Amino acid sequence: MIAASGLGARAGTFELRDITFTVPRGGYGVVIGAAGSGKTTLLETIAGIVAQTAGTLQLGEQRVDGVPPEHRGIGIVYQRGYLFPHLSVEQNVLYGARDAKFARGIADRLGVESLFRRNVSGLSGGERGIVSLARALAARPPLLLLDEPYSALDPRRRIIVRREVRALHRELGLTVLQVTHDFTEAGLLGDVAILLDGGRMLQAGAPQKVFREPASPYIAEFLGAENIFAGTVCVIGETAPDWIAGEPDVVSRGHRAIEFRTEGFTLYTVGDAPAGPGHAVIRAEDIMLSETPGGGTSARNQLEGKITDIATLGALTRVAIEIRKGTPLIASLTTRSAQELSLREGQHVWATFKAMAVHLC
DSSP letters for 237-274: -SSPPTTS-S-HHHH-TT-EEEEEEETTEEEEEEE-PP
Residues 270-277, mean pLDDT to the nearest whole number = 85
Residues 154-181, mean pLDDT to the nearest whole number = 91
| Residue range(s) in the chain whose domain bears CATH number 2.40.50.100 | 282-354
| Residue range(s) in the chain whose domain bears CATH number 3.40.50.300 | 2-212
Backbone angles phi, psi at 155, to 5 degrees: -55, -45
Least confident of 153-157, 314-318, 329-333: 153-157
Rg (alpha carbons) of the chain, rounded to whole number? 25
Least confident of 99-113, 226-240, 314-328: 226-240
pTM of the model: 0.82
pLDDT for residue 313 is more than 50: yes
The CATH number of 282-354, from 1.10.150.120, 3.40.50.10900, 2.40.50.100, 3.40.50.1980, is 2.40.50.100
Q: Please state, as a whole number, how many other Cβ atoms lie within 10 Å of the Cβ of residue 238.
A: 7
Residues 71-76, mean pLDDT to the nearest whole number = 92
8: enclosing H helix or E strand: strand 2-11
Q: pLDDT digits over 21-51, tens only?
A: 999 999 999 999 888 899 999 999 999 999 9
- Residue type present at position 295: G
Percent of the chain topping pLDDT 70: 93
Residues 301-313, mean pLDDT to the nearest whole number = 93
14 strand-pairing partners = 11
pLDDT score, position 325 = 79
Residues 6+ apart with CB under 8 A from 183: 32, 211, 223, 224
Give the span between the Cα atoms of 143 and 10, in whole angstroms.
Answer: 23
Annotation: CATH topology of 2-212: Rossmann fold (3.40.50)
